[in-house]
Amino acid sequence: MKNRQAIVIGIAALILLAWRTDDNAQSQSIGSVMAVERQADVTHPDRLEVAMVKLGEPVLFKDLYETKAQSRLKLLFEDDSILSLAENTKLKITENIYDPAKSRRSTVIDLVNGSVRALVGKFFGGAGSKFEIHTPTAAAAARGTYFIVWTSKEGGQDPTGVVNIGESGKVVVSNINPAVKGSVELKQNQYTLIDEGKPPIPAALISPSLLKSLVTSTEVKNQVKQEVPKGMEAPGSDVSAEVVTPVTGTPGTKGGGTPTGGETTTPSLPSVPPIVQQPPTNKTPVNVNVNFP
């Protein structure tokens, strides 16, 4: 009887330990937000409410990100991989294992809808290493390259598109359903489409106009977070808001000193008029005669 109780207690302890380990893994940072334009939302795995994405905040395992109309987002991972989300894009980080000591990186991104550009700049040769983007119809596996995946509707009603825009490396694309046999390997500027229940079409060169549209839609400029030093804020001012300026771009102004779109200017010191010198006071000469005895 005692042995049975000990076994039950031991199993409960293991379950509790596994639960805590999984909870810690989900709350651990795996990257950071590099840039956010307009409004993007995130749902963290340990919270039910949706929050607005903030520049510089950590990216967590199993985070769900969604960009709104005319908004874009860029995420940087610990292994230096980068995801750039176009507007109206929704994706979730479903797998992330990073062990540089064993040269292992295993990342899986679920793209529900929209467009995402992925930069996979490093190669990891450890067992089980991979970087994949999944959609309702496709699985795109990168081998150290730069590629874009897009799907316009949830549920796979429209085919998924994948294009390799990197100068080196390759992307191997197959149907998300392993029962559908067949895959294609994409080289630079080659793309494919994958319909539900069908293998990907043969690789073909993408048209310059479509490529330009995809690159432009997933272009997100890097940003930096500037904080106001303590003691420098004006009395009664709110310094909790972040001041974001693009890293790239040439400073410039329009008439009246208004910064041009996407550019920054260095404020100049206000001009101070010279102090007007007062004319000397009129004086009347006075003669003083002093007689000495």
Count of residues in the chain: 293
Query: What pLDDT is attached to residue 289?
Result: 55
Break the chain into its structural domains and give their ranges. 2-217
CA-to-CA dists, residue 69 to 86, 217, 236, 252, angstroms: 9, 12, 34, 28
105 neighbors 96 (Cβ within 8 angstroms): no
Helix (H) or strand (E) holding 3: helix 2-27
Q: Are strands 146-151 and 104-119 parallel, antiparallel or unpaired?
A: antiparallel
What's the rounded Cα separation, in Å, for the pair 160 and 175? 10
Low-confidence ranges of the chain (pLDDT < 50): 8, 10-25, 155-156, 227-281, 288, 290, 292
CATH of domain 2-217: 2.60.120.1440
pTM, to two decimals: 0.69
What's the rounded Cα separation, in Å, for the pair 246 and 248? 5
- Amino acid identity of 177? N
Helix (H) or strand (E) holding 96: strand 90-99
- Amino acid identity of 123? F
Burial (0-12, 13-18, 19+ Cβ within 10 Å), 10: exposed
pLDDT digits (tens, 9 = 90+) for 58-80: 999 999 999 999 999 999 999 99
If one counts every other C-beta atom within 10 angstroms of the C-beta of residue 291, the result is 4
30 neighbors 60 (Cβ within 8 angstroms): yes
116 neighbors 133 (Cβ within 8 angstroms): yes
